[in-house]
Homo-oligomer: A and B are copies of this chain.
Amino acid sequence: MSRHAIHLQKAIDALKRMILSLGADVENSVKQAVQSLAQRQIDLATKVIETDAEIDQREVDVEEECLKILALHQPVANDLRLIIAILKINNDLERIGDLSVNIAERAIYLSNVARVDLPFDLQKMAEKVQSMLKRSLDALVNRDEKLAYQVCADDDEVDTMNREMYGCVEQAIKKDSANLNSYIQLLSASRYLERMADHATNIAEDVIYLVTGDIIRHGSNFSQEEADF
């Protein structure tokens, strides 16, 4: 290996650690946001909102590092593809962080009003979305296209759950319009989860492209558009 190749490899390894560490923090933010919603924990929700500034800064740092590597090392082929994939994944992770903040904001609102009941398991949906995010990052680490395809397939399930949630909210509002606002806030939380799943799917699609060269995004099976309800 030339000295140049060694330097590039070191820079890429450091970049990988940066994106995985950001990924872990975003996973944690999602987990806490979902928990604050389920358990009406205003403190935890506030923490999610406050720590988002760190996630935002880390996204900027990763992008700067990508640009530095491109400028200094001028990578080609697989290395180039990897850096571009990390640039895109970085963006998706930051957006997932923003969506955690959105859920935490709903959690604060809902913690301050009477609890409403819905015959829908939002927790199960949240667990599915968290698992998609985790697996999309595992697929990146292990260059595991099979796992990435699984994540893409799961996105359809989450879309279906979001549609079911809509049906539940519709029925609930018709029976109990006094709590309209709470139901709409819960529906928002479901939609934020659905958008998180879209971002996890984007990450998985980037992994598939990285590993196989196949572009599967925008495919008819893995539609990026939101569920039509």
Task: Indicate whether A127 reaches chain B with its CB closer than 8 angstroms.
Answer: no
Q: Which of the candidate stretches A98-106, A136-144, A153-161 sits at the interface with the other chain?
A: A98-106
- A80–B74 CA distance with the chains assembled, in angstroms: 10
A116 at the interface (CB under 8 A from B): no
Judged by DSSP, the binding face of A is helix
**A81 in contact with B67 given A88-B91, A177-B173, A180-B170 (CB within 8 Å):** yes
Quote the shortest CB–CB distance from A218 to chain B (angstroms): 4
The smallest C-beta distance from A44 to any residue of chain B, in angstroms, reads 17
* Stretch touching chain B among A4-12, A21-29, A32-40, A220-228: A220-228
Q: Number of A residues whose C-beta is below 8 Å from B? A: 39
Q: Across the two chains, which residue of chain B brings its CB closest to A49?
A: B225
Chain A residues packing against B (C-beta within 8 Å): 53, 56-57, 59-60, 63, 66-67, 70-71, 74, 76-77, 80-81, 84, 87-88, 91, 95, 98, 101-102, 105, 166, 170, 173-174, 177, 180-181, 184, 215, 217-218, 224-226, 228
With A53-B218, A88-B91, A173-B180 already in contact, 13 other A-B pairs whose C-beta atoms are closer than 8 Å: A56-B218, A57-B218, A60-B218, A67-B80, A70-B84, A74-B74, A84-B87, A91-B91, A98-B225, A101-B225, A102-B226, A173-B173, A174-B177
